[in-house]
Amino acid sequence: MRVGLIVDSACDLPYEFSRKHDLFILPVTAKIDNQVFIDNHDPVLTQEFYQSGLLQKGHHAETEAFSAGQIHDLLMEKVVTQFDVAICETVTRSRSLIFQNATDAYNTVMGSCQQARAAAGVPGKFSMRVIDSKQIFAGQGLLAAHTLRLIDQKLSKNVLRQEVEAFTDRMYTCVIPRDLHYIRERARRRGDKSISAVVAFLGKALNITPVIFGQGAEGQPVAKTRNFDTAVEKVMNYAAGRVDAGLLTPYVSLSCGLSWTEIEELPALNRLRDACERNGVELLLSQMGITSSIYIGPGSVCLSLAAEPHQFSDFQ
């Protein structure tokens, strides 16, 4: 049984990791001023995106999910004849239309996939499951890595689905937004009032950098620091302490909307690396993708891990 894993462009993972495990990337359309990009995790395009400074002040950036029809065509062309079972994990449905569009595409694909397989000389039936990851960015990356680990265990497709869906509720994510004003303005354009103008103003005027922590995409501020480096150090210390205390999967996912030079200079990053090394945990360190960077803003950081119930303050 050939099992394939599909993720969307909001899923942050190291490029080499994605290529090694043959992940299928469901693209997202990025629109910046009058330019249109198809974000399919091309590392060259991502690097050009960062070097161009397209998210800096004065640029209007938005993302748009592929339509159900576009996803249908991709699945028919590249998935149904390559795999017998496909798991499609999308960014949380509360933040994007990707889950709904992928579900709609699944319904049409299942009506025509067997004919396509027969025409290609591929025996057997095709099945697929669309799963709401309940995660964003590095959280999606962590779920994908864990799913690949489960696939290697040769679980039945029903058990695999159940394990993945249960795991989504055991993940914890930290987000450090670099610019609250950017997030507030983008949320305002989408009609999302979850970040008030007052909070955005305070963050900009007083140089407050919050740490957002929680399970999945529903986090709350757990720290308000006067600068970005202090916030990063708090998150790295939390992650290193949690790694030493034990994880539910041997991965920590960390994505950063920064250049690689800036990433390597992050405070306490080596402390986290050392904790991962002594505990046999793989640090999935990546440059934040185009879709993620547009959503949360340049310079932001997202970290995710899976563990028993705990609080951020337990590891400070």
Q: How many CB atoms lie within 10 A of CB 314?
A: 11
CATH class for the region spanning 3-169: alpha beta
Torsion of CA 292, 294, 298, 303, to 10 degrees: -20
Q: What six digits make up the tokens of 160? A: 């695999």
CATH 3.30.1180.10 in the chain: give the residue spans.
Answer: 170-315
Q: What is the pLDDT of residue 143?
A: 98
Q: What is the pLDDT of residue 187?
A: 67
Q: What is the pLDDT of residue 192?
A: 59
pLDDT in tens, the chain (316 residues): 899 999 999 999 999 999 999 999 999 998 888 788 888 888 888 887 777 776 665 567 788 899 999 999 999 999 999 999 999 999 999 888 999 999 999 999 999 999 999 999 999 999 999 999 999 999 999 999 999 999 999 999 899 999 999 999 999 999 999 877 777 776 666 665 555 555 666 566 667 889 999 997 778 889 989 899 999 999 999 999 999 999 999 999 999 999 899 999 999 999 999 999 999 999 999 999 988 988 888 889 999 999 999 999 999 8
- Using CB atoms within 10 A of its CB, is residue 238 exposed (0-12), middle (13-18) or buried (19+)? buried
- Using CB atoms within 10 A of its CB, is residue 15 exposed (0-12), middle (13-18) or buried (19+)? middle
Q: What is the pLDDT of residue 274?
A: 98
Q: What six digits make up the tokens of 168? A: 């989504």
CATH 3.40.50.10170 in the chain: give the residue spans.
Answer: 3-169
Quick check: 45 and 75 in contact, CB under 8 A? no
Q: What's the pTM? A: 0.93
For 216-225, letters b (16+ CB in 10 Å) and e give bbebeebbeb
CATH 3.30.1180.10 fits 170-315, yes or no: yes
| DSSP per-residue letters across 152-180 | HTT--HHHHHHHHHHHGGGEEEEEE-S-H
